Chains A and B, each alone.
Chain A
Amino acid sequence: MNIEKHLRQLHKIQPDPAYARQLRARLVLAASQPRRMTFQVFLASVTRSGFAAAAIGLLLFLAIGGSIWNLVFSPITNWDAKTLLAEAQAINIQIRLADLQFNDPGYERERLVSPATDFKSLEIITGSEENILPVSTPAETATASSTEPSIDSASSEPAATPANSTSTQIEPDDGIIDVEEALDILSH
């Protein structure tokens, strides 16, 4: 049996002509009527294109959105160097040196009374308890004694002897004092 030949014979199958004419008339009639689906088709196409646009927008946002957000909305973009400088200068920075705390004043006291101390250069600053400083130069002492100096003025002011503090120059008889004598001096 030649299958392909018989298959080609099946091509001769035709629909019933009467049925075909009737169906054609129905279809042409249906096609000529105003389309009720126009709005739905329009809506479907709009929805379809809307979804596509939304998907593209989302991808773009994910790709470059973070960078744009930072550029547009970051507070850094509103700053400029002049503003920052003006703000920095407007800050009232005052250091209350009188409030400074020293960790171990006992160490300095011990050092003062050691036999190797050069008493010729030793200055004991008397006054308030806060003003007891370790070995210090007169300039440092002056700075430390002034109350509430501003940072700006501190560097320009000359080092001066503080008014509320007194210095005592110790002149040992033979350059050596004993421990009790040193403690006595410190207690004053």
Chain B
Amino acid sequence: MQENEENLIRRAATGDSEAFGVLYDAYHPQIYRFIFLKVSSKEDAEDLAHQVFMNALEHMPGYRHKGFPFSSWLYRIARNAVIDHYRTKKDRVSLEDADPEDFARGESIQADAHRALEIEKVRRAIKKLSPLHQDVIIMRFVEELAIREVAVALKKSEGAIKLLQHRAITELQRIISENEESTK
């Protein structure tokens, strides 16, 4: 994919719409997931994902391939889009008010109720993390990206990412156990 990706990026940068379509197919699900886990609703996630790919299309001619995965660049655009979203739409839906039904539809998981509940707990706990810890948790444990790729996307060193992921997981466990104790 890496060699093909470079070629696709070059073609897309010169205005090849089909090449950009292939890149979209490859990266849209993970960018959508990244956004969906950070915002409160499916609609917001769809709008922001749309915005991310439109921005990417607009800036494709200026994109320089430096050996890093294309996804790192897309994640950066997505992060900025989410930050702008929370900056400008604070008064919209709060994280706590999000409808759990949205998550079920978004996940498209028709699993048993218990598992869905567990996943929902984790998702809610992720939203209580700091944005940086959210990013690390989603990229490393949901998308299973390599540390180097996460480091490039977040503009941090690999050592910093290792430290961040450790702290984020610890924090996530603390939040989940606190939530469980409060519901008992």
Secondary structure of the B contact surface, majority rule? helix
A16 an interface residue at 8 Å Cβ cutoff?
yes
Does A10 lie within 8 Å of B21, measured CB to CB?
no
- Write the nearest CB–CB distance from B164 to chain A, whole angstroms: 15
B1-42 residues with Cβ-Cβ distance < 8 A to A are 12, 15-18, 20-21, 24-25, 28-29, 32-33, 36-37, 42
Interface residue tally of chain A, by bracket?
Answer: 20 to 34
Partner of A11, one of B121, B143, B173, B176: B143
Does B20 lie within 8 Å of A31, measured CB to CB?
yes
- Residue on A nearest B43 in the bound complex, by CB: A19
Does B108 lie within 8 Å of A1, measured CB to CB?
no
Query: With a CB–CB cut-off of 8 A, which chain B residues contact A41?
Result: 61-62
A13 an interface residue at 8 Å Cβ cutoff?
yes
Chain B window 107-118, contacts with chain A (Cβ cutoff 8 Å), 1 for yes, 0 for no: 111000001001
Does B53 lie within 8 Å of A27, measured CB to CB?
yes
- Residue on A nearest B25 in the bound complex, by CB: A24
Does A24 lie within 8 Å of B108, measured CB to CB?
no
Does A13 lie within 8 Å of B106, measured CB to CB?
yes
- Residue on B nearest A34 in the bound complex, by CB: B15
B147 an interface residue at 8 Å Cβ cutoff?
no
Q: In whole angstroms, how far apart are the Cα atoms of A8 and B62 in the complex?
A: 34
Once A15-B29, A28-B21, A31-B12 are accepted as A-B contacts, the answer to whether A3 and B122 lie under 8 Å apart by CB is: yes
Chain A interfacial positions (CB closer than 8 Å to B): 1, 3-4, 6-16, 19-20, 23-24, 26-32, 34-35, 37-38, 41, 44-45
Q: Closest 4 CB pairs between A and B? A: A31-B17, A32-B17, A7-B141, A15-B32
